Amino acid sequence: MTTSKMNLNDMTGQVCVITGAASGMGRIAARELAKLGATLVLNDREKAQGEAARDEIVALSGNQRVEFVYCDMIDRKQVAAFAQHVLDNYARVDVLINNAGLTNPEFFAGKEGQEQHMEIMHLGHWQLTETLLPRLRANAPSRVIQISSDAHRAGPGIDFADMACSKIWKGARYANTGAFQAYHRAKLAMVYATYAWAEQVPAAEVTFNAVSPGYFVGTDVFRHCRGFIKFVVKVFRPFFADPEKSAQTYVYLAASPDVDGITGKYWEYCKQKKSSPLSHDIDTRQQLIEWTKAQFDA
C-alpha cells in the first residue's frame, strides 16, 4: 500500500478496533494503522490466523500495541464479551472499523435464528457499535467505518417478511444465488445503519461512514463459494481489485484530517460516491432500525 501521498495523522495514543482483521483488507488496514502508531484491538473467528496477523503486524510496524482477541461475530455472547473486553481494558476508543464479513453458499443461522450474513455483518456490528458508542462519544471526535459493498445495489432490497432468506435458499442448485442475495441484504443494512447513526449522533462527537472496497476484491471472501461461481472466481481472480488499494480507504477514513467532521457518506477508493437510491429510502431504513433494535430487546 502507498500511503506517502495521503494526508494522515500520527495515530499514537489512539485506539482502533477492527473486526475481521485476520486476513484481507482488515489485516492490511491494521498493518498500516500500526505503522502510524495506533493501538490496535483486532478480532476474528480464525484464531490461528488472527494471532499470526498480530505477530506479522508487530514485526512489520515495530508497534507492540497490537492485541488480537478471538471473536465469532455470529455469536452475540462472544460479541458482547469482546465489547466488554475493550471497555475493560481501554480507556478510549477512537476508531471502530466494522469489517468482518463472508459469502457462504451453505445456509446457516446464528443461535438467535437469524441468517448468517445478516447476523455477522449487520446485527453483530450493530451490537458492537451500540455497546462501544458511549466510549466513542466520550473520546470525541471519533470515527466509525462500516465496510459495506457495492453489492448493496445488486438485489431487490430487504424483505421483512422473509428475513431468514428462506425464499431464496432453495438447495444446492441455487446456493450461490441465495448467498449473494443474503450478502446484498446485509451490506444494504450496513448502509442503512450508517445513515441512521449519522443522523442520530452529532458529527462533532462521532462520524459514521460506509465504504465500498470495490467490486470483486482479491481476498478470500469467496472461499466458500462452489460450482459455477467458484469457477468464475478462479478464472477472473487475476483481474480482481487489489486489496492493498481497496484498504487505502479504510486507512484514509480512520486517520486523515481531510475527513474531519464528514459523516453519513459512502466512499470508494478514498472518494465519496453515491450509494444506491434504495439505500436512501427513509421508510425502509426506519423499518430496518426498528427490526434491528427488536432483535436485542428480548
- HEC string of the chain equals CCCCCCCCCCCCCCEEEECCCCCHHHHHHHHHHHHCCCEEEEEECCHHHHHHHHHHHHHHHCCCCEEEEECCCCCHHHHHHHHHHHHHHCCCCCEEEECCCCCCCCCCECCCCCEHHHHHHHHHHHHHHHHHHHHHHHCCCEEEEEECCHHHHCCCCCCCCCCCCCCCCCCHHHHHHHHHHHHHHHHHHHHHHHHHHHHHCCCCCEEEEEECCCCCECCCCCCCCCHHHHHHHHHHHHHCECHHHHCHHHHHHHHCHHHCCCCCEEEECCEECCCCHHHHCHHHHHHHHHHHHHHCCC
Residue found under cell 455470529: 74
Residues that are catalytic: 183
In which order are the strands placed within the sheet that holds 142-147?
Answer: 66-70, 39-44, 15-18, 95-98, 142-147, 206-211, 265-268, 271-272
